Structure 1
């Protein structure tokens, strides 16, 4: 049992809360988290994160202030080293900021203990990764249900089947991930991210490993999750076309939000990125 818990802690420190062993002994049917609260789905207030010391100090986030409404789709872009990954890690509760507050559905999460934070990640946050991160020994349906199982909740097979139908994999529930294409595996990952009706779904370069047509299909599914299911999606991407599926694009540079583009089109996003890359770090937007 100790070895099983060690594997889970290692996986979550690596930023993959779904790559844990599928059974942790938690009782099934425990209480669900409260429904969505009024106000922002997620809010960051003065969030700062610094790595290293002395001359090697890196200010990854420099006072991020942001509030995202429920049912919104936000893309986050920026040059390499701009703070995108740190932003996602902190906002999703996978890393702790040095200063500031992060609120999820109105609940302040930065001061939570590790046990409560783990429970929150499993029940109130969904994740979609570039590398899919499905468990090869589990069936497609079991992978979709994994967040509920890890959270000790009743496994809602009817909802899992509904989500698999929505992502076009209704006939694949019994297959293993290794029997699916990359695009199909990412569809499973989206269904898995939505199974607990999370406050926010964080997508980290979700189309980075896919061809253009398959990437478009995956982005359409994320868009539909927002429009049809009321999901809140925050997506880190380097692709202007992917960003154009969002309601707005936030641009990071030097650990700060330096630009904000509503109703983005691919060319407008690309132009902003070119301008951003050419501007010295720290310059005003």
Structure 2
């Protein structure tokens, strides 16, 4: 069973500034959750705390099974961070290389095929479009076979059409994972998520669970209704 995440009374202080305090929530296993909110409110810092990259001032983060989440997380950021001197397939298997392990090239080839890049395994990043590079980054994330995936605005640099295509691909390939996505795009959040969380200066709030299954079509009435509600909430939080 895919583990969920338990965030309990997490706070983050920087000298005399409190970024957020006493945040508690649970992410159900195998579900896709989006985290939205104004810039500077601490979304990326919270993601780093969950990943174990930043220590909270107070509180704890554990899997829903009571075990640490460290070692069970894959990360996908806004920039693809491909090594320019490595081929696409070697970038996909980068984690194994950094750990000193033998790369599973069959698995890497399978993932490149799944993201539509079977014919580009030997290509260097400079020869790939932005959308293709982000597909390699998605394959690299999946290569790790981690049950928990944390994503920090991974599709924000893409054009609208490519973004929609990769959103659908991510929803398909991450369907069995516990995913937490930071995004500033209400459409993206409503299209991909089972659940929406909003972080603001006042704390954490939640919208009602979205109807239907992701990825939702752009003209899905459930998506349009949730998007309108989300926009109202975000506007109120920033007022």
TM-score (norm: length of structure 2): 0.86
Say whether residues 1:70 and 2:33 are aligned partners.
no
Three-state SS of the structure 1 residue aligned to 2:167 is helix
Q: 201, 204, 209: which one pairs with 1:262?
A: 209
Say whether residues 1:278 and 2:224 are aligned partners.
no
CA distance in 2, matches of 1:166, 1:137: 23
- Identify the residue that residue 125 of structure 2 maps to in structure 1: 177
- Identify the residue that residue 147 of structure 2 maps to in structure 1: 199
Deviation, structure 1 residue 103: 1.3
Deviation, structure 1 residue 154: 3.3
Deviation, structure 1 residue 71: 1.7
What residue ranges of structure 2 are gaps of 5+ in the alignment?
Answer: 212-222
Say whether residues 1:253 and 2:213 are aligned partners.
no
Return closer, same or farther for 1:169/1:61 CA change in 2, 3 Å cut-off. same
RMSD: 2.1
Say whether residues 1:148 and 2:96 are aligned partners.
yes
- Identify the residue that residue 6 of structure 2 maps to in structure 1: 43
TM-score (norm: length of structure 1): 0.73
Deviation, structure 1 residue 279: 4.2
Runs of 4+ in 1 over 4 A off after TM superposition: none
- Identify the residue that residue 114 of structure 1 maps to in structure 2: none
How many residue pairs match? The answer is: 226
Three-state SS of the structure 1 residue aligned to 2:93 is helix
Maintained 8 Å contact 2:186/2:230: no
Maintained 8 Å contact 2:115/2:136: yes
Return closer, same or farther for 1:177/1:255 CA change in 2, 3 Å cut-off. farther
CA distance in 2, matches of 1:271, 1:47: 27
Maintained 8 Å contact 2:115/2:169: yes
- Identify the residue that residue 161 of structure 1 maps to in structure 2: 109
Say whether residues 1:130 and 2:78 are aligned partners.
yes
What does the per-residue CA deviation read over 1:40-90, in whole Å, with 9 as the maximum and x for residues that have no partner?
A: 43221111111122xxx1x22211212222221111111223221111111
CA distance in 1, matches of 2:142, 2:207: 27
What does the per-residue CA deviation read over 1:20-50, in whole Å, with 9 as the maximum and x for residues that have no partner?
A: xxxxxxxxxxxxxxxxxx5743221111111
